[in-house]
Amino acid sequence: MNPLPLNGIRVLDFGRYIAGPYCAALLAEYGADVIRIEKRSGSEDRYTAPITPQGEGGLFMQMNRNKRCLTLDPMSEGGREVVRRLVATADVVVANLPAPALAQMGLDDDALRAVKPDIILTTSSAFGAQGPMSSYVGFDGVGQAMSGAVYMTGEPGQPYRAAINWVDFGTALHCALGTLVALMERSQSGRGQKIEGSLLGTALSLNNSSLIEQAIAAPNRVPTGNRGQTAAPVDIYRTKDGWVLCQVVGQPLYKRWVQLMGEPEWLTDPRFKDDEARGLHGVLISERMSRWCAERSNDEAIRALGEAKIPCGPVLSPQQALDHPQTAALGFYQPVDYPGLPKPAPISAVPLRMTVTQGGIRHRAPTLGEHTDEILAELGYDAAAIAALRESKVV
């Protein structure tokens, strides 16, 4: 088995929830030694939507696989010394915390560089480092809301945010990419650097095409539920026993869909001449698709659409998503045990296949402070010094 490409890289994870921790988890998946630094009582993201008797949640299990855990009060005098020693051994510090908090903890760029000149600091915030809202805090939803995405989701008069945290995960992915680029740069120049991501920046970037359209053509679009506006049919349709999503974009797909529907005259109908025209007449096209779906079961509709090479998929509940044979075929969910769980948790590895450097889940998320003594010993603390840190409630 080939060694993972980030073996020998040490990452200090001061992050919370998703944007910071998932960035660090991606690095851990490819071999980095990631140390999660956590409050002595356990940080709040450990206990979101609990699934164990101790209170750990599914989010924590996903974000912190392959990591070690050190409990620490970094604001105490002894804690600051532990942070200094940690930084001296580290290559990367990940912290999705506000700038004032970073400074208070000695994790701002200048403080880190005084200890380790070539350190890489990867940070993210809600709104970015500049502007009138830069000092505010926020979660994934603020990025969704301020990017135009929430406005366009749902029905007129009732906007909806997405249930999954796509802004947080997108920020984590961007930050992980930036960290890898910084590591490559450092390997050539010896220089470290600071990387800054933001939830709003991610959301604006992912919704950029819609904002470009508005800036140039000013269509002033309003939400239309699940029905698409720039092509058709694009919608979610009821079948005899469920729902299916279908997306037809581009002339080749439209031709195949027309053939499946048995409406050859629609190929020459000027109302449906291109995607834009079909989007404008999306209600009519969706009505035809609705009638077709209503005559079939979910499996029948998916099979017919799939065989016609038309993009489609069933609308699945979370349990159905777990049980679907295509989910199993991908093999990204790995059963991972954890103290107190009644059965192993299905935790997703990075959803990539790599022929040489395939990452994976090597061990479960850590229990609270599981590796504190081990990490402190690596930093040069002997048993008496570790006991003193515990006695003074530094760790």
Assess whether pLDDT exceeds 80 at residue 2: no
Residues 157, 46 share a domain: yes
* Higher per-residue pLDDT: 3 or 295: 295
Query: What does the pLDDT look like over 78-137, one tens digit per residue?
Result: 999 999 999 999 999 999 988 888 998 899 999 999 999 999 999 999 999 899 999 899
Residues 356, 308 share a domain: no
Q: Residue 67 domain-assigned?
A: yes
Q: Residue 224 domain-assigned?
A: no
Q: Residue 149 domain-assigned?
A: yes
**How high is the pLDDT of residue 24?**
98
| CATH code for the domain in which residue 279 is found | 3.30.1540.10
Q: Residue 188 domain-assigned?
A: yes
Average pLDDT, the chain: 96
- 360 contacts 73 by C-beta, under 8 angstroms: no
Q: What is the DSSP string of 286-319?
A: HHHHHHHHHTS-HHHHHHHHHHTT--EEE---HH
Query: What does the pLDDT look like over 143-174, one tens digit per residue?
Result: 999 999 999 999 999 999 999 999 999 999 99
Q: Which residues, at least 6 apart from 16, have a Cβ–Cβ distance to it below 8 Å? A: 43, 44, 45, 96, 97
Residue 125 belongs to what H/E stretch? strand 120-125
Nearest alpha carbon to residue 35 among 64, 3, 6, 7? 64
Residues 278, 171 share a domain: no
Assess whether pLDDT exceeds 70 at residue 41: yes
Confidence of residue 73 (pLDDT cuts 50, 70, 90): very high
Q: Please count the structural domains in the chain.
A: 2
Residues 69, 198 share a domain: yes
Assess whether pLDDT exceeds 70 at residue 15: yes
User: Which domain range does residue 200 map to?
Assistant: 10-206+329-392
Assess whether pLDDT exceeds 70 at residue 287: yes
The burial class, CB within 10 Å (0-12 / 13-18 / 19+), for 365 is: buried
Residues 168, 75 share a domain: yes
Q: Residue 146 domain-assigned?
A: yes
**How high is the pLDDT of residue 1?**
61
End position of a domain, from candidates 314, 346, 362: 314
Whether the link from the prior residue into 223 is cis, omega within 30° of 0, is: no
CA 222 to chain CA centroid, Å, is 27
Query: What does the pLDDT look like over 201-241, one tens digit per residue?
Result: 999 999 999 999 999 999 999 999 999 999 999 999 999 99
Query: What does the pLDDT look like over 289-318, one tens digit per residue?
Result: 999 999 999 999 999 999 999 999 999 999
Residues 340, 298 share a domain: no
End position of a domain, from candidates 267, 288, 314: 314
Q: What is the average pLDDT across 56-69?
A: 98
Q: Residue 61 domain-assigned?
A: yes
Q: Residue 217 domain-assigned?
A: no
Q: Residue 49 domain-assigned?
A: yes
**How high is the pLDDT of residue 97?**
85
Residues 250, 107 share a domain: no
Residues 196, 70 share a domain: yes
| CATH code for the domain in which residue 93 is found | 3.40.50.10540
Residues 21, 68 share a domain: yes
Residues 258, 155 share a domain: no
CA 102 to chain CA centroid, Å, is 23
End position of a domain, from candidates 284, 314, 344: 314
Residues 386, 335 share a domain: yes
**How high is the pLDDT of residue 98?**
82
- 254 contacts 308 by C-beta, under 8 angstroms: no
Residues 139, 20 share a domain: yes
> What is the three-class DSSP state of 170?
helix
pTM value?
Answer: 0.95
